[in-house]
Amino acid sequence: MSTLPEPDICVLGLGYVGLPTASLLATSGFNVVGFDTNPRILEALRNGQTHLQEAGLATLVAAACHSGRLTSVAEPKAAHTFVICVPTPVRPDHGVDLRMVEAAAKALVPHLRPGNLVILESTSPIGTTRNVVGRCIREGGLEPGRDVHLCYCPERVLPGNTVSELVNNDRIIGGFTPACAQRAEAIYRRFCQGRITLTDDLTAEMSKLMENTYRDVNIAVANTFACIAERAGIDVWEAIAHANRHPRVTILQPGPGVGGHCIPVDPWFFVEAFPEETQLLRAARERNDGQAQRIIVRLKDTGLLSPGSKLAVLGAAYKADIDDARLSPAALVKDAAEASGFTVSVHDPLVRPGVHEGLEISGDLATCLKGAAAAVVLTGHTAYRQLDPTQMAALMPGRLVYDARHILDQRVFAEAGFTVLVLGRGRA
């Protein structure tokens, strides 16, 4: 195979990972074309704009487009390197849906030539790079590792801090052969300031799944401790602070569940493929998804709610200070509340108002609180830390508030006449 050819990269999928990656590749000197099946994303990019709210992304995309090195295309184009950054969701039965990976691979194959490099970045079950992307390449008449290079290079970025983490995080590159990995390293080296370690594609796929599964299980541990503390009349937040003084203990934060497009999804890839070995992982998933129901039970147990009571759910973003409502715990809380006969109104200060994954989200806090018997704070947004109980009391006939993130000043709310429930705090 030839040495590194002229830089010329086609990125397939311009979402949370693909767009910043394409932009960084362009600003580091490559000529990049970006392809997406969503015409709105392509249109925004043609105008040098982004559809995503991410620190530093608007400036980065504008710089990449104005440099003339990032352009959007309605069809994949011949390039020396193809980078696949498409979603890998789970179906309602928790089985993985790899149709978008397969579609992207099939879309690039007609443009693939000997000597090219194909990189999969999407979080995927073990074997996807060689068995799904590799199969599509073979069906196109080329052999991975011999005619074209093939790699798995998982993204590791934290939504909300994507651009900085793309540049600064360490990176794993898994090659179908060692030469494949070395070829991809030369690309990432251009913008990644973290340490780059090379391995094979299967190990890289497993490492990525392990990272997010590890976090899910550890959050489940924190949520289990919160349940125990509530039953035992203990404040879990204080107990965690004490335990974390141990030099080898870092207990995570309990909360209303685990949202986002990664952590609640990725453990299922292990569970689907290895059902016998993954009882612990499944239990952790169920523990985290069960938080919503536990919140509603605790609210009901106060005796302050009646059938038809309105709950004001504050926070649709899956975590603090981002605008992303994908797989939000708010959806599970809403379902649990409605199953108990309550009505629900959902507010978020950052998520674009409208219907997201069946969840109707409003940006108007007063309308959400008006007539509510209880307010349930699910997201630790900075804006919610300043909630004023006096103003809330003027809108709400009820005086009940549930704090799932431990961010409210309990004393101030109590002085305003509220009964305050804090997730994981068993003491009044």
In the complex, the residues that contact ligand SAJ under the rule CB under 6 A are 123, 155-159, 211-212, 215, 219, 252-253, 255, 258-260, 262-263, 318-319
Q: Please give the Cα distance from 100 to 97 (Å, whole number).
A: 8
| Residue number with CB closer to ligand SAJ (69 or 285) | 285
Residue 109, φ and ψ in degrees, nearest 5: -55, -40
Contact 65, 48 (CB under 8 A): yes
What is the smallest separation between the CB atom of 319 and ligand SAJ, expressed in angstroms?
4
- Distance (Å, whole) CA 29 – CA 54: 22
Q: Is the dihedral of CA 61, 66, 68, 74 positive or negative?
A: positive
Question: Catalytic site residue 262?
Answer: yes
Q: Could you tell me the smallest distance in angstroms from the CB atom of residue 121 to ligand SAJ?
A: 10
Provide, rounded to whole angstroms, the least separation between the CB of residue 281 and ligand SAJ: 14
Question: Taken in order 370, 375, 377, 378, is the CA torsion positive or negative?
Answer: negative
> Residue 169 is encoded by which pair of tokens?
């995080």
Which element (helix H / strand E) includes 315?
Answer: none
**Which of the residues 208, 310, 319, 334 is marked catalytic?**
208
Q: Which CB atom, from 69 or from 261, has the smaller least distance to ligand SAJ?
A: 261
Cβ(423)–Cβ(403) below 8 Å: yes
* Shortest distance in whole angstroms from residue 177 CB to ligand SAJ: 26
User: By C-beta, is 65 or 204 nearer to ligand SAJ?
Assistant: 204
Which residue type occupies 328? Answer: S
Residue 124 CA to residue 107 CA, distance in Å, equals 18
In the three-class reduction of DSSP (H, G, I as helix; E, B as strand; rest coil), residue 144 is classed as strand
Find the catalytic residue in 10, 136, 227, 262: 262
**Residues listed for the chain:** 428
Please name which of 348, 350, 346 lies closest in space to residue 323, comparing C-alpha atoms.
350
Of 193 and 390, nearer to ligand SAJ (C-beta) is: 193
> Minimal distance in Å, beta carbon 341 to ligand SAJ?
27
Say how far apart CA 223 and CA 49 lie, in whole Å.
Answer: 40
Catalytic, 370? Answer no
Q: Where are the alpha helices (DSSP H) in 234-319?
A: 236-243, 266-273, 279-289, 291-301
Query: Which CB atom, from 203 or from 367, has the smaller least distance to ligand SAJ?
Result: 203
By C-beta, is 36 or 155 nearer to ligand SAJ?
155
Is the Cβ–Cβ distance between 72 and 14 less than 8 Å? yes
- Cite the active site residues: 208, 262
